Amino acid sequence: MTDAGSSPTRGTFTAFGARHVTGVAVARWVAAACFVVWGAVLLALGYWWGLFLFAAAGLNGSLAYLVPRWNLLRDAPKNVERVRELQRSRALVVDDAAARLRRIEQDLHDGAQAQLVAVVMKLGLARDHLSTAAARPEGADLGRALELVDAAHRGAMEAITELRDLARGIYPPALDDGLGAALAGLAARSGLPVERVVDLPERPSPAIETIAYFCAAELLTNAAKHSGAGRARVEVLHQPGFVTMRVSDDGTGGARLEPGGGLAGLAERVKTVDGRLQIESPAGGPTVVTVELPSRV
């Protein structure tokens, strides 16, 4: 398995390489200008070999112009492939968002909305019973009105619970206090003892926190249900510009990326922000899943 720090290191060296190429080009232009000046001075003093300095100036100028463009031409296929991958990930995100909206609409229609309609109907019947009781106290059925109000109260509570669960699926309220607190809540609810190591001197952006939270939730659920593990560990580390989360367990291993599976869904979610998900899960365990994310999007 590739070391979790490889992505930040790669980014650092890429930025360093870009600065290095620019610095070298500037240095070549400066050297070319110096050669021209010294060549002109030598020719003015009668030294014909000052012409060689003009040749050196031309060589440095040519290299300063051509080398950066050669690097761009060399990297063009990689950049095209990267753009295609980002476009594909963006299309998946759009489709996933549309599917989530349809599911939320369906959940609201079949769940909370149906519950609230039933509440309104029960309260309407209770109002009719109470109106009858007020008009004809001798024939009033207050017991039936009380039953209807009680049923409406239960229905309202169930609707509130469904709405709360639905909202939790959109944005976990636990993230209001940061990723560390949210992971503590996941660990407390997990079916396994979970050790946490969180080193986040600064909070990532909300989108990154949400992705990391859902990845941790899915991975801990998988460990509790499928791995046969006795304990798990969640480690979140911050490096300049990156957040690395590693979830491991001492189970039987064998976790794989399969089309349509939960891990494949996590991998696609991580790719939408140009992150990476890596799995090391040999037969017999342990399983280590590393999620690398930029700290800002």
List pLDDT tens digits, range 78-92.
777 777 777 776 666
List pLDDT tens digits, range 188-238.
888 889 999 999 888 888 888 888 988 998 899 888 888 888 899 999 998
Q: pLDDT category, 9, cuts 50, 70, 90?
A: very low
The pLDDT of residue 287 is 92
- 219, 233 Cβ separation under 8 angstroms: no
Question: What percentage of the chain carries pLDDT values higher than 90?
Answer: 13
CB atoms within 10 A of CB 45: 8
Q: pLDDT category, 25, cuts 50, 70, 90?
A: low
What's the rounded mean pLDDT across residues 164-178? 72
Instruction: Note the CATH architecture for domain 176-294.
Output: 2-Layer Sandwich (3.30)
* Segment holding 242, helix H or strand E: strand 242-249
Is 90 exceeded by the pLDDT of residue 243? yes
Q: For the chain, give every residue range classified as CATH 3.30.565.10.
A: 176-294
List pLDDT tens digits, range 108-134.
666 667 677 777 887 888 777 777 776
What's the rounded mean pLDDT across residues 12-35? 62
List, edge to edge, every strand of the sheet that includes 276-280: 194-199, 232-239, 242-249, 287-294, 276-280
